[in-house]
Amino acid sequence: MRIVSAIQPSGRLHLGNYFGALQKYIKVQEEGQALFFIADLHALTTVRNGQQLQEMTYGLALDYLAFGLDPKKTILFRQSDVLEHTELAWYLATVAPMGLLERAHSYKDKVIRGLFPSVGLFAYPILMAADILLYRADRVPVGKDQMQHLEIARDLANKFNTAYVLGYDASDPEGTKEGNAPGILTLPSPFFMKDESIVPGTDGAKMSKSYNNVIEIFADEAIITKKIMSIKTDSSSVIEPKDMRVSPIFALLQLLVTPSEMADIEESCRIGGKGYSTYKHRLLECFYETFRTVRQRRKELEGEKGYVKNVLNQGAERARQYASSTMEDIRKAVGTARK
């Protein structure tokens, strides 16, 4: 089983990235060959400072390692170190219908939020499809916000296979029925946790690095306190019952407390008598209970620049081997293979 996923170094790692992605990376890294990378090419759609991108790329490598991704087993690398990502993205762009991308809601959400509507941002799902298809991934651990992009990756794999593989039947992508041929590109499946949902930010919208609503896992204590204490609430008084849908505090608590504590919280909201600050303080405590050890481990790793660079270089070397094998088949099919 091949497992592929990535996070953009477009800001610092936040709770949404952890619960939507990293937590799953740690869980699945034992279940097959995992390739996890730092999507610096994607981050170029929002980061316009080369030095900052370098720093955030290195920072994300530290995050991966602090959380326990094992570079002996798992391949950790930087997207821009494997040039085949952009090459495959172009081939996929030539079979991608405009309408498919025009329906992508992430682009529209980001533009509404004021992000620059570049061609790169619009074409992000194509590069993401290339990221996954290049490694013939079977499983892709991503957050629920990426469901549509993963569907686009499957669509593009089908479009490519249909265009270039004689006897390919989209209803039988592995070519198991007689007369059908298997696709060159594997159709990936998402990997979600049971009852998983999108992690809300401090304002209740999707927690996102570009929305200024994140709770960063490795930020200084003062910033974390400020962010948690500023989570959106309504003006109900201490004694009033609390509607748990009004404030994202409760969805965040649910991620960090045990089910029995969550049941107590639900009951206390129903009867009232506790102010929002009580819940915020509990969230703060839970945050440190969950992340104290990784925060410490990341601090220790900060001085190990040589080691981290080595991990990324060796990871890129290994990733290129997988990528070049897929690209050989693709170039043959499209007619760009060197004779």
Site residues for ligand AQP, window 125-144 (CB under 6 A)?
142-144
Q: If binding is defined by CB under 6 A, does position 59 make contact with ligand AQP?
A: no
DSSP state of 198: P
Contact 43, 52 (CB under 8 A): no
Nearest distance, CB of residue 64 and ligand AQP, angstroms: 12
Q: Is 110 a catalytic residue?
A: yes
Q: Between residues 25 and 164, which has the closer beta carbon with respect to ligand AQP?
A: 25
| Rounded distance between C-alpha atoms, residue 199 and residue 204, angstroms | 9
As given in the structure block, the two tokens for residue 56 are: 């955030």
According to DSSP, the residues that pair with 35 across neighbouring strands are: 4, 75
Concerning whether 339 is annotated as a catalytic residue, the answer is no
Does residue 212 contact residue 163 with C-beta atoms inside 8 Å? no
Among 10, 79, 202, 213, binds ligand AQP (CB under 6 A): 10
Contacts of 91 (CB under 8 A, 6+ apart): 160, 330, 334
CA 75 vs. chain centroid, Å, equals 16
- What is the nearest approach in angstroms of ligand AQP to the Cβ of residue 249? 15
309 is catalytic: no
Q: Is 8 annotated as a binding residue?
A: yes
Q: Which is nearer to ligand AQP, 71 or 201 (CB)?
A: 201
Q: Is 199 annotated as a binding residue?
A: yes
DSSP label at 257? S
Q: Is 248 in the site for ligand AQP (CB under 6 A)?
A: no
Where does this chain touch ligand AQP (CB under 6 A) — which range of 15-23, 68-76, 300-308, 323-331?
A: 15-23
Query: Which one among 3, 4, 8, 104 touches ligand AQP, defined by CB under 6 A?
Result: 8
| 53 counts as binding ligand AQP under rule CB under 6 A | no
* 35 φψ region: left (φ > 0), alpha (ψ -120 to 50), beta (else): beta
Q: Which of residues 178-237 bind ligand AQP (CB under 6 A)?
A: 198-199, 206-210
- The whole-angstrom separation of Cα 269 and Cα 240 is 8
9-28 per-residue burial string, b: 16 or more CB within 10 A, e: under 16:
bbbbbbbbbbbbbbbbbbeb
Q: Which residue among 20, 125, 173, 248 contacts ligand AQP (CB under 6 A)?
A: 20
User: Is residue 158 at the binding interface for ligand AQP, with CB under 6 A as the rule?
Assistant: no
- Asked if 143 contacts 199 with a C-beta cutoff of 8 angstroms, the reply is yes
Residues noted as catalytic: 110, 206, 209
The site for ligand AQP (CB under 6 A) is made up of: 7-8, 10-11, 16-17, 19-21, 39, 46, 142-146, 198-199, 206-210
| Residue ranges at the known binding site for L-tryptophan | 131
